């Protein structure tokens, strides 16, 4: 038996893009979780901090939409980040019923550290691909995702 079990996987599966994407996504998710876990972080932390860094202060609802995170998970994640002084939560001056979340300088540093970890994970995940192939794969996956996000 080969180490990855490929010879035991039916050819009909090994040649089906949806199966390959699902298997690769599961492996990628494990690598990302392990990488972030090794530095005491989680993927949701990265998503929130990256959104704040790129788009600026935002409501919890906006952060959830931008990061593809469920509302209840956004609240828990922001609580964790705020407890570590990586973000600040303050009432929105325009609507006191909602909060505005802002990244702190410590949050910027943590985002940078997490980005380095994520880059190492990408290198591990994409190790068998050349730089050109990595770019092609990223473009193709982006095209697929964009297409399916536009469908009702």
pLDDT tens digits along 77-106: 999 999 999 999 999 888 888 899 999 999
Least trusted range by pLDDT, from 56-60, 80-84, 95-99, 127-131: 95-99
pTM of the prediction? 0.86
Q: Which of 51-65, 91-105, 108-122, 130-144 has the lowest mean pLDDT?
A: 91-105
Coil, helix or strand at residue 43: helix
Mean pLDDT calculated for residue range 112-118: 98
Q: Residues 6 or more apart from 27 whose CB is under 8 A from it?
A: 125
What is the side-by-side strand order in the sheet with 87-92? 58-59, 95-103, 87-92
3-state helix, strand, coil in the chain (%, to 5): 70, 10, 20
Q: How far apart are the two ends of the chain, measured CA to CA in Å?
A: 44
- Cβ burial of 67 (10 Å; 0-12, 13-18, 19+) is buried
Query: 42-122 has which CATH code?
Result: 1.10.10.10
91/152: higher pLDDT: 91
Of the candidates 48, 21, 19, 28, the residue with the CA atom closest to the CA atom of residue 108:
48
DSSP lists the bridge partners of residue 92 as 95
Helix (H) or strand (E) holding 92: strand 87-92
How does pLDDT run across 14-45, given as a tens digit for each residue? 889 999 999 999 999 999 999 999 999 999 99
């Amino acid at each position: 038996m080969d180490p990855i079990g490929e010879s035991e996987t039916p050819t009909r599966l090994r040649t089906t893009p949806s199966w390959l994407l699902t298997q690769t996504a599961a492996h990628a998710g494990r690598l990302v979780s392990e990488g972030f876990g090794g530095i005491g972080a989680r993927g949701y932390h990265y998503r929130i901090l990256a959104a704040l860094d790129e788009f600026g202060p935002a409501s919890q609802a906006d952060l959830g939409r931008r990061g593809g995170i469920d509302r209840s998970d956004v609240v828990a994640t922001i609580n964790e980040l705020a407890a570590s002084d990586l973000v600040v939560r303050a009432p929105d001056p325009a609507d006191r019923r909602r909060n505005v979340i802002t990244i702190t300088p410590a949050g910027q540093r943590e985002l940078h550290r997490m980005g380095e970890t994520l880059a190492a994970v990408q290198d591990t995940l994409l190790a068998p691909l050349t730089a050109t192939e990595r770019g092609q794969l990223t473009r193709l996956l982006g095209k697929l995702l964009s297409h399916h996000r536009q469908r009702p």
